[in-house]
Each structure stands twice: as C-alpha cells, then as structure tokens.
Chain A
Amino acid sequence: MHDLVAKTALGGSEPRVDTVGSVTCTEVPGVALASVAARRGKETQAQKALVKLIGAPAPEVQRFTGDQVLAFWSGPDQWMIEAPFDSHEDLADQAKAIFGQTASVTEQTDAWARFDLLGDGINAVLELLCQLDLRRFEPGYAARSSIHHIGCFALCRGTDHVSLYGPRSSAGSLHHAVTTAMISAH
C-alpha cells in the first residue's frame, strides 16, 4: 500500500461542502471512472460486456443505467463508467478484463471532478449554469453541457440530486460557477 495522500480536485484534504439556502454543493472525490469505446466491428460484443459489467441494459442516448457500477452514454458505442473509488480504484483494469478486445478502456478517474447538487432548489441553480432542458431531468438522465465554457456532464440521480462532472483542472472555476449561481438563485 502506497503512502501518498490524495487531494481533492479543489486541493483540499476533505471534500468541500457549500450550502446556500436549500441547496448543497458537495465535492465528491470518492468515485472511479473509466471511458469505454467499442472497437470497430465489436459494437455488439462490447455492449454485451457492458451489460455484464453494470448488471443493467446499456444506456440509451442521454441516459445512465446500472447501480453500484453505472454507465452513461457519451457517444455512439461509447460510455463512461462510474463506480465507488474505494472498491473500484482499478475500475479500468476491472472493466478491461470484461471487455477484452471488444473495447478500448481508459482510466478517467482523476480526469474529472464531481460536484453533487442536492436540495429542493437545484433547478433554479442549474438554469443559471447550463442550457439543458430541466423538464427532462428525471432519474437516469445524463447529458453533456457547457457550464461557464467548461465542458461538463450532468447526471440526474433524483429530482433533488444532480451530479456535475467537469475537468479536474477546472474544478476551481466550476465550483465558483456553481456556488455563484447558488447565491444568485437563493
């Protein structure tokens, strides 16, 4: 076991939590990610492997499926898979073992920073941040969007729970955008 201490994307030892009114923004470092792209001509096999990995049907466009290990659509025959960090730090290796030569798998764990928005008023915050149609935000919805010129993913986990993924290096700017919108919308 190595002895290097991890930092969160915002540079702290503990995840940052901000609450404004009814909305809480929580930094979520405890997540492992990997990108999966089917190899050419292996799309069907790759999809079957994905089903095996996540224990659920492969997600359609703008959806995510799965539970502990879940996958969201990121392009034709491309997905991002997500799992708890503590149990799946080697998610890419685990996935590669299942996909084999049917897909290219790349570790994405630390390429992204995740912020979870929780609370009744999250729509008022989100409408200041991204151009997505909030009427479609039901559990299982996942979409790509730009937030203050930062390319992000938004996953709707519940009517009062949305995860935002942004590039880790821009975590500070994304966090600033989110908390500014929280104050503005409150």
Chain B
Amino acid sequence: MTQANRLSGGQIDRDTTLNFQFDGRSYTAHPGDTLASALLANNVRLIGRSFKYHRPRGLLTAGSEEPNGMVELRSGAHKEPNTRATTVEMFDGLTANSQNRWPSLRFDTLAVNDLFSNFLSAGFYYKTFMWPAAFWEKLYEPIIRRAAGLGSLSMQADPDEYDKGFRHCDLLIIGAGPAGLMAALTAGRAGADVILADEDFTLGGRLNSETFSVGEQSASDWATQAVAELSAMPNVRLMQRTTVIGAFDHGIYGAVERTGDHLPSLPAGKPRQILWRIYCQKALLCAGATERPIAFENNDRPGIMTASALRTYANRFAVTAAPRVAIFTNNDDGHRTASDLHAKGVKIAAVVDVREDAPLSYDYEVLKGAQVVNTKGRLGLSFVEVALPDGSTRTLDCGALGVSGGWNPSVHLTCHQRGRPVWDENLAAFVPGENLPVGMSVAGAANGVMSTHGALRSGAQAAATALNLATLPDLPEAEDAPLAQTPFWYVQGCKRAWVDQQNDVTVKDVKLSYQEGFRSVEHLKRYTTLGMATDQGKTSNITGLAIMAEVAGKSIPETGTTIFRPPYTPVPIGAFAGRMIGKEFHPTRLTPSHHWAKERGAVFVEAGNWLRAQWFPQADETHWRESVDREVRQTRASVGVCDCTTLGKIDVQGTDAAEFLNRVYANGFAKLAVGKTRYGLMLREDGMVMDDGTAARLAEDHFVVTTTTANAVSVYRHMEFVRQCLFPDMDVQLISTTDGWAQYAVAGPNSRKLLQKIVDPEFDISNEAFPFMACGKITVCGGLRARLFRISFSGELAFEIAVPARYGDALMRRLMAEGEEFDVTPYGTEALSVMRIEKGHPVGNELNGTTTALNLGMGKMVSRKKDSIGSVLSEREALTAPDILKLVGLKPITPEDKVTAGGHLMNVEGPIDAAHDQGYVTSVAYSPSLNSNIGLGLLKRGDERLGEKMRLVSPLTDLTVEVEIVSAHFVDPEGERLRA
C-alpha cells in the first residue's frame, strides 16, 4: 500500500523502506517513523476502541502523553498490550494489533454500549449492580471486565531480559528540548559530569517539530549540531530512549532506557530495557509542556488531535493525518500549525478561533469568535460543525482537526516528593511550586517559559545556577513570542464532550461527580476514573479540574490537584525485576560438598538461600522414606556424615569475649574452660527464645559461636547490636566465618574410628583425651589445619570437623573413602531432622518466637546468678503460670497412624474446639529406630502428663489420631551414646 498521506521533508530515511503489519494488513514505513506516524502516512486513522463505550478512536497526540492510540505490539509471549503507537519506533517486521474490540476494529459489537451511554455514566456500576449481591462476583463483574478494558496479556512469562544499572553525575538533565540541550551545553562546556536523558529516540524535543530557526539554522539542525557537540564531550552522557520515571530520595532518579524495543529481535543476553538508578548532585527538569485539547461534542473521532501533534507529524515525520485539515484553537499556537501545514501543501479548511481578535491569514480562512460544536464521520472525521458568532453554523469538510487549548507545563516530576504545583494566571496553567525535590530545578516550558529563546535562556541559566558557574554561554537567536493563555476548556451546551479519552470521561461525568458529592479532586478521580490508567491524565487532568472548579464556583487553585506519583510513563514489571527472576530471584548459597553431593544424586532442599542435600537416594530406592530411613539406621548403627557448613559461625574475640557471651546467652559462659564447648540458649529482650547453638572456647579471648542455619544472619545482627549499642565499653570483636570453613557432622558409634583415620596421630581424640563437648584446633590428612568439636545433634557419639572451605570437597571424599570399611553413609537434612526429633532437640519449629526456655524444658538454663538479655522478662507471670505449654513427645497408639505438625491436642473426652485446646504438634517424623511415627509438641503442663492419652486433631483435614504423651527424648534418654 502506498503512503498516501506522506508529505515532503521530515526526519525520515526515504531511501530505506520498512514493512510492518497492523491488524494483519501490511504497510510500509521508513526509518525515523513511529508506528503512529507510519499508520497516518498509510491513511490509517482508526487505531482502537475506547475503554467503556467502544467508540472508534485514533491518535490524539504524537508523544508519550497519548491516551488513545494504544496497540498490542509484537506477538506470542513477546506481546505487550497498551503500547502507545506514538512512542513505538518503527522497525522492519513490526506487528501490531488493535485492542479492546470484537470481532474486528471496524465492526465492534460492544459499540452497542455507546447507545446505552445514559445508563453507563460515571459510577454506574456502583449503583446498577447492587443487587442481588451474589450476582456480583459470578455474573456482573466478569461481564464488565470483558466489556471494559484495554489490551490483553499473553498469559505467558515475559521472555525478554531486563537489566538494572546505576549511574552517577553532577547534573542530570531530564528532557533534551531547547532548554535541556542548552543546559547540557552550558554544563558540559564547564566540565561537569552530565547525563542528558530524553524519552525520544531523536534528541531535540519540539525543535524537531518546528519550522522556525535557531540562530542561523533550522531548529532541528541546531538540535543536531548541539547533540553532535555534546556527543564529543567525554563528560556528557546522552541517554536517548530513556524516560526518567521518578524523583526519589536524596537526588536519586529512576530512568528506563529502552535499549531493545526498536530492534526486530534481541541477541541472547541483551536487555530489552534497563532500569537505571541515577545518583546526581543536581537535577534539572526540562520536560517541556503538553498541549491540552478542548472538549466539544464528539471531539473523539479519529482524525481529531492536538494541533501540535499535527505539526509534529507534518514537520518531523512528513505526514498529514488527512489531505484537508481544520484547526480549532484559543491561542496563536494553533495558527502556527495551520501555517506549517499550509506550507507543506495541506489544504486548510479553516482555522476556528474562539477569540474575537484572532489574527487573520492570507493563506487560509480564519473564523474568529467561532467554536466547533459537533463532528461527523463513522470511523473517522468527515465534517466539523462550526457555530459562528452571528449564530449561524457552518460545516467544514475535513479529515483531520487540530485542537489547541493551550499548554500545560510537565510538572510531574516536581511533585514526586509531595511538592504541589502553583497556578499561573497568565498561562492559565500549573507551574512548578517552591517545594521541589532536593537538588531539582526546572527550566523551559516545564517551568512555564513558553518561547524557544526563553527555553534556551532558562536552560543555560538553570544549569549555571545549579553548578555555580559565573558566566553563561552566548545564546542563539530564536523566536521569543510572549504567551498569554486565556482558558477555554470546553464548548458550552455539549452533551458528550470527552475530557479523558482513555477512560471515557465526559464533561457531563465531571459535573455528575460534583452533583453526587464527589467534590474533592481525589474523589473526582476515583468516581469518574479521570486521569487513571496508562496516560495518568496527561491530556485531561487540568481540563477535568477546570470543569470541577467551574461547577463548584471556585478557582482552580482552590479546587486543588491530584498527586503525581512515579512512574511518569508505564514501566514493564520485568524492568523492575531486572535479572532477579526464576532461579536467580535470590542468590543461592552452595555448601563445600555440593558438587560431590550432586554427583551422588542428592536431592536438594532450599534452606534460606542455601541448597542443602535432603537425602541421598540409592539406585534401588523408590521412595524418599526408604533413603531417609536407611540413612538414619546406618548412622545409628555405624557412622554417617552430614554437611553442616550452613550453621552460622561467628568468631567472637576480645578480652571481654566471655563476659559478652555471658550477657548474650541465658546460661553461663564466663567459666567455660578453654577447649570446651557449651550449648547455649539466647533470649530476646522479651524473654522468648531467640536461637540456640553452641559456643566453643578456643582460647581465653576467642570463642566460635554456632547458630542455627535459619538465624545465622539475625543472630549476628543481634550480637552486633548488643556489642555496639548495649555494651559499647566491652572489648569484643565479631566477624562471621560461616563461609570460610567446611564443617561436617560425623555421627554414629564408629565416628571416632573413622576420624582417627584422618586426624593426624599427634592429636588424641579418645574419649579420655577428647570427651563429650571438647573442642580444639587439630590437623588432618598430614597437616591441614582443622577444628574438631565433640558435639552431637543426633544423640550418637558424634563430632563436627571443620577445614578451610576449599578443602571441603576433598575432605568429604576422603571421609567416604576411609569410611567404606564402616559402611559409612552421607545423610541429608531429612535424616538429620528425624534423628533430632528422636533425640528431642528443639529447632525452628519449636523456637518459633512464642516459646520460652521454660516451655522447652530448659527453664533451669536461664541463670539467676547473672544478668543476661531476656532473663528478667522470661520470669513474667504469664510465662511462668502453672498451665503453660511444655515440650513433650507424642507416639500414636497405632504406630502407623500419621501424626501431623500443626495438629492440636485435645483431651480424650470433651469437645474439640479452641476453648478446650491443650496444645499443638510442632515436629513430626517416622522413626526408623522406633518403627513408629513420632512427634514433638507443646502441651499444657506437658511435663506432668507423661503416659496420658490424648487426641491429636486437625479439623481442617478431618484427622483424629489417638496419641500417648511421652518424653521428648525417644532415643537414649540418658545420653550414654553421645558420651561413649
């Protein structure tokens, strides 16, 4: 298809032709086009259907403020709904589809909504779908959701990649129009580190859309030359295709760079977009201004757009929306569009100016004091009806109408820190207020300086002020026309005049909102949805506000504004996620034996960020229980090895190290002998148990504290808090060594025999020389430094041996090789858990933040001979009452009966309800040692109820199991094995 609406000139590369598809039809375009300009060039005005009434809609603007011209871009999993055609840079093979229509764009059955518009006004669904209430969820809401809306999701994961990045500069300039370019030149020439960011793919802003000159050059040539000069400066970084989306604390700005959106496809590993965090000393907002439309009857037909957009399409993209164009304006800027289009050979039907004193033209007719009162055309504009000052009407034959109601400075980013814009009477627009984000200043049209020379001047001045520069560069000559805007918001007497085209909000809806009492602007927004969705009301907010002010009989500043929040334009969720997706959602920590375990076919489980071996299946094992039961039996019968590197290791040194631990732990540590380890219980300030672990005294002034895997970080943080804030006078130093040492539990009756094969002979680890709870520095395998602890989690004779992490893999392989004669087995966290439940050791399930030492049967560990954190509050009345929960063991009467963690304990007789609750189950396992399911639980007066039968219930899963209350120590309650 030919590009029937293509004009001469423009910033497009006519030597190259690109092919693209819209709604399945093929068209051509040129590099430099946007999807919007290419569609217009091909005489496609109808682009989508409106949100609520499914009215035909086309383009309203040529920029990121676009409310209407939205498409589903690309296909398959790459499909992106609600993409503004005005910001899509054309590439060869682009595919786009219209959205929110069925079965087709030209014939949309849901356009029937438009006929019932009287029933569908603002707030209709709040009133209409009140009853019957049950219908809402099943009937009304699904229907409304289907009828209303924008694009549809692919329902597939986003296959594109996104990056996050960080950049720093002295001055961040947001927007590369005349003000931004001049500011960048000023700052760049002065040697400052500058980032100049602009959402467009061609820098220059409106300089690329205008025909006037800057200095001796055309505006766009001047912009090109300025960009060339800036590109050559090593201290200036130009970021085109980059939207600054938010102003955050301390001079931090968020910016989205579209690095791949203009490419047909991306090479593997390349990001589609990068979310930059820009740290700057100063920021200069040069975001320009947005032209505001005028509301009038049927002002939403395809072909009706802002006058400045028509000018952009003609001058920059060499496209006219139609061969015959009319203009409706309340200011001189509309005339500029007529003049530019006329010069390009486009027929001007007339310029309709509401002002009685509008300027006349020799080239086309100007209708002074006239207003557009209606438009016609089924799927696009055909005629415009104009009311003339004498009361007569006239019909203009045109395919496009440019509307100009004046300009609104783009103040959004000035408000991201709760700053409020102020009303400028002369401009009849909001300009940035006093309360800007720290370090930000504003220049150019964004600051209400509407002439080109004014923009250049204020850009240079603002950059100089921000950087304390003494001199300003020479400024080029440029137009400096004064601008006064007399507001003209909407044509009186209209029935359906659109204010917010994206949300189908009319002048009438705004008035209705007022009538029904939704009078604050925030209520207006929620009631009518004015200013919501992807465009956030960039072309509609002020008009809506003005109408509200008018009906309320107040001024606009009295009526107020809504809050602008980041992001300035829509951002894909993927850009916020960056690379932290899927398995990379968080960092993964691997143990020193991980690769060996993987070779052995271990099944892994996540424990925090760690991956731990859960069990090691053998070829003949088909169920995880077989593997786990075998690992337990083999360990208890002979010897097993488990990687326990993940337990937190905190090096505690200093002359006050022992006294420090005495305060941190509830039990005493001051008198722990060098070469000994002690189990310790750490309380929170409120007396609840925080964590348990061991502390090994390697020297008078040196301890190694171990924590649970889960609490490694929080315990370290707690200890640092205690050190720095509670006891700053103590001489104690802390540092984590968790990753530095590969630590393996070697457990079982043959553990000593196995270790004796690798521990160097000068170290005696017999029971006499190295008894239960001993610790020491040793060497292994012919001289490698190591640490040995005689501690047991399994209840067996057991050791933990640690070597520098780089040798962890080799040590594990050595233990397995040397252990062959003992039938050694590696065991995972599941067997570890079974054995600790059999032994009655509490872990996170029991240390759940609501339990005290007394609950856990360790009340006597809280020393009363010294002060320690939490010891006083652990004595609170409610925590020491006679019927508090106590840790017990549970055995089902029928061993095969399953006991479930989270189930509650009830008396054998009596009701099953919360009032009669006796306690709950915390941990369960199948014990291969007892050939029975077992559990640990917390039971009221549990220590006095051993032997009692109870019901374990889980009403949610309809479970009732009869259990016997037993000691929590199922295996070796006297502890003979671990002392062997």
A residues sitting closer than 8 Å to B (CB atoms) are 1-9, 11, 29, 35, 37, 39-41, 101, 103-104, 106-112, 127-128, 130-135, 148-150, 167-174, 176-177, 180-181, 183-184
- Contact of A127 with B167 in the complex, beta carbons under 8 Å: yes
> Contact between A1 and B783 (Cβ–Cβ < 8 Å)?
yes
User: Within the assembled complex, what's the spacing in Å between the Cα atoms of A70 and B784?
Assistant: 25
Contact B587 A170 (CB under 8 A): yes
The answer to whether A5 and B783 have CB atoms under 8 Å apart is no
Q: Which residues of A contact B163 (CB under 8 A)?
A: 128, 181, 184
The 8 closest A-B pairs by CB, nearest first: A111-B740, A104-B653, A183-B269, A40-B731, A110-B805, A169-B589, A2-B784, A173-B587
**A4 with B784: CB separation less than 8 A:** yes
A132 and B702 CA atoms in complex are apart in Å by 35
Report the nearest B residue to A176, measured CB to CB: B584
CA distance A37 to B268 in the complex (A): 46
* Nearest Cβ on chain A to B559's Cβ, whole angstroms: 41
Q: Tell me which of B164, B729, B780, B811 has the highest count of chain A C-beta atoms within 10 A of its own C-beta.
A: B164
Q: Tell me if B271 is interfacial: C-beta within 8 Å of chain A.
A: yes
* B-side contacts of A37, CB under 8 Å: 653, 733, 735
Partner of A148, one of B166, B271, B580, B782: B580
Q: Does any Cβ of A come within 8 Å of B767's Cβ?
A: no
User: Does B279 make an interface contact (CB < 8 A)?
Assistant: yes
Smallest distance from the beta carbon of A81 to chain B beta carbons, Å?
Answer: 13
CA distance A176 to B586 in the complex (A): 12
B809 and A7 form a contact (CB under 8 A): yes
Tell whether B590 is near chain A: CB-to-CB under 8 Å.
Answer: yes
Contact B739 A169 (CB under 8 A): yes
Interface contact B731-A133, CB-CB below 8 Å: no
Known: A29-B806, A106-B651, A133-B168. A184 touches B269 (CB 8 A): yes
* Residue of A with least CB distance to B656: A40
Chain B's closest residue to A103 (CB) is B733
Please give the distance in Å from A13's CB to the nearest CB on chain B: 10
Residues of A within 8 A of B970 (CB): none
Are B588 and A173 in touch, CB under 8 angstroms? yes
Q: Is A3 touching B782 in the complex (CB atoms < 8 A)? A: yes
Report if B165 contacts A (CB, 8 A). Answer: yes
Shortest Cβ gap from B345 to chain A (Å): 47
Query: Are the C-beta atoms of B653 and A106 separated by less than 8 Å?
Result: yes
Cα distance A174–B590 when bound, in Å? 12
- Could you tell me if A128 and B587 are in contact, using CB atoms closer than 8 angstroms? no
A180 to B594, CA, bound (A): 23
CB pair B810 A148 closer than 8 Å:
no
In Å, the complex CA distance between A6 and B806 comes to 5
B residues lining the A interface (CB < 8 Å): 161, 163-168, 193, 268-271, 274, 277, 279, 579-580, 584, 586-592, 594-595, 609-610, 645, 651, 653-656, 701-702, 729-733, 735-741, 779-784, 803-811, 814
CA distance A7 to B596 in the complex (A): 11
B808 surroundings in chain A (CB, below 8 A) = 7
Q: Is A111 touching B736 in the complex (CB atoms < 8 A)?
A: yes
Given contacts A41-B731, A106-B653, contact A111 B738 (CB under 8 A): yes
Q: How far is the CB of A108 from chain B (nearest CB, A)?
A: 6
A170 lies within 8 A of B279 (CB): no
Q: Within the assembled complex, what's the spacing in Å between the Cα atoms of A128 and B277?
A: 10
| CB contact between A184 and one of B271, B590, B732, B739 (< 8 Å): that residue | B271
Q: A4-B784, A173-B589 are in contact. List 9 more A-B contacts (CB 8 A).
A: A4-B780, A9-B805, A29-B806, A39-B655, A39-B731, A127-B166, A133-B279, A172-B588, A183-B269
Minimal beta-carbon separation of A138 from chain B (angstroms): 14
Bound Cα distance A174, B779 (Å)? 32
Taking CB atoms, residues of chain B closer than 8 Å to A167 are: 589, 739
Could you say which of B166, B592, B782 has the most chain A C-beta atoms within 10 Å of its C-beta?
A: B166
Asked if A108 meets B737 with Cβ closer than 8 Å, knowing A1-B782, A135-B168, A172-B588, the reply is yes
Residues from chain B with a CB closer than 8 A to the CB of A171 are: 590
Residues of B within 8 A of A174 (CB): 587
Contact assessment for B610 and A180 in the assembled complex, using a CB-CB cutoff below 8 Å: no
Query: Contact check: which of A6, A108, A130, A135 meets B807 at CB < 8 Å?
Result: A6
Shortest distance between the CB of B705 and any CB in chain A (Å): 13
- With contacts A39-B654, A127-B167, A169-B590 known, is A2 near B782, CB below 8 A? yes
Q: Is the interface of B mostly helix, strand, loop or mixed?
A: mixed
Contacts of B165 in A (CB 8 A): 127-128
| B269 close to A170 (CB less than 8 A) | no
- For the complex, give the distance between the alpha carbons of A2 and B781 in Å: 5
Alpha-carbon gap, A10 to B274, bound state (A):
28
Chain B residues contacting A7 (CB-CB under 8 Å) are 592, 595, 806-810
Question: B809–A11 contact, CB under 8 A?
Answer: yes
Which of B588, B654, B803 has a CB less than 8 Å from the CB of A40?
B654
9 contacts between A and B (CB under 8 A): A3-B781, A3-B782, A4-B807, A110-B804, A111-B738, A130-B166, A131-B277, A170-B589, A180-B579
Indicate whether A4 sits within 8 Å of B588 (C-beta atoms), given known contacts A41-B731, A148-B580.
no
Q: Which residues of B contact A183 (CB under 8 A)?
A: 268-270
What are the residues of chain B within 8 A of A168 when measuring CB–CB? 739-740, 805
Which residues of B are found within 8 Å of A11, using beta-carbon distances?
A: 590, 594-595, 809
Q: A170–B730 Cα gap in the complex (Å)? A: 33
Question: A29–B807 Cα gap in the complex (Å)?
Answer: 12
Which B residues touch A150, using CB under 8 A? 587
On chain B, the residues within 8 Å of A35 by CB distance are 735
Option from A9, A148, A169 in Cβ contact (under 8 Å) with B610: A169
Q: How far is the CB of A184 from chain B (nearest CB, A)?
A: 5
Contacts A109-B740, A169-B610 given: A135-B193 contact, CB under 8 Å?
A: yes
Closest residue on chain A to residue B655 by CB atoms: A39
Q: Shortest CB–CB separation between residue B188 and chain A, in angstroms? A: 15
Q: Is the CB of A104 within 8 A of B654?
A: yes
Contacting residues, chain B, for A8 (C-beta < 8 A) = 806
List of A residues within 8 angstroms of B193 by Cβ: 135
Q: Determine the distance from Cα of A174 to Cα of B168 in the docked complex, in whole angstroms.
A: 23
**Cβ 8 A contact of B586, one of A9, A111, A131, A149:** A149
Residue in A closest to B276 when the chains form the complex, CB atoms: A127
| Minimum CB distance partner of A133 in chain B | B168
Question: In the complex, what residues of A have CB within 8 A of residue B594's CB?
Answer: 11
In the assembled complex, the Cα of A132 lies from the Cα of B165 at a distance in Å of 10
- Nearest-neighbour CB distance to chain A for B377, whole angstroms, equals 48
B585 nearest in chain A by CB position? A149
The interface residues of chain B lying within 8 Å CB-to-CB of A181 are 163
Which residue of chain A is the closest to B235 with respect to CB atoms?
A: A135
Q: How far is the CA of A39 from the CA of B579 in the complex (A)?
A: 42
**Pairwise interchain contact B807-A169, C-beta atoms closer than 8 A:** no
List chain A residues, Cβ under 8 A from B277. 131
B168 and A134: CB pair below 8 A? yes
With the chains together, A174 CA to B587 CA distance in Å? 8
In the bound complex, do residue A110 and residue B741 qualify as a contact, i.e. CB atoms below 8 Å apart? yes
How far in angstroms is the closest Cβ of chain B from A64?
18
User: Does the CB pair B811–A149 fall under 8 Å?
Assistant: no
B440 CB to nearest A CB, Å: 20
| Bound: A41/B655 CA distance, A | 11
With a CB–CB cut-off of 8 A, which chain A residues contact B783?
1-2
Determine the distance from Cα of A131 to Cα of B166 in the docked complex, in whole angstroms. 5
Q: How far is the CA of A127 from the CA of B645 in the complex (A)?
A: 33
In the complex, what distance in Å separates the CA atom of A4 from the CA atom of B739? 19
Q: A6-B810, A184-B269 are in contact. Are A110 and B739 (CB under 8 A)?
A: yes
**Smallest CB separation, B820 vs chain A (Å):** 18
Residue of B nearest to A145 (CB): B166
Given A11-B595, A167-B739, A173-B584, A4 and B167 touching (CB < 8 A)? no
Specify which chain A residues have a CB less than 8 angstroms from the CB of B740 in the assembled complex: 107-111, 168
- Residue of A101, A107, A110, A135 with most chain B CB atoms under a 10 A cut-off: A110
Distance of A111 Cα from B645 Cα, bound (Å): 12
Residue of B163, B656, B806, B808 with most partner-chain A CB within 10 A? B806
A43 to chain B, nearest CB (A): 11
Residues of the A chain whose Cβ atoms lie less than 8 Å from the Cβ of B579: 148, 177, 180
| Structural contact, B733 and A4, CB atoms closer than 8 A | no
B609 and A170 contact, CB distance less than 8 A? yes
Question: CA–CA, A107 to B508, complex, Å?
Answer: 75
Question: Which residues of the partner chain B approach A133 to less than 8 Å between Cβ atoms?
Answer: 168, 279
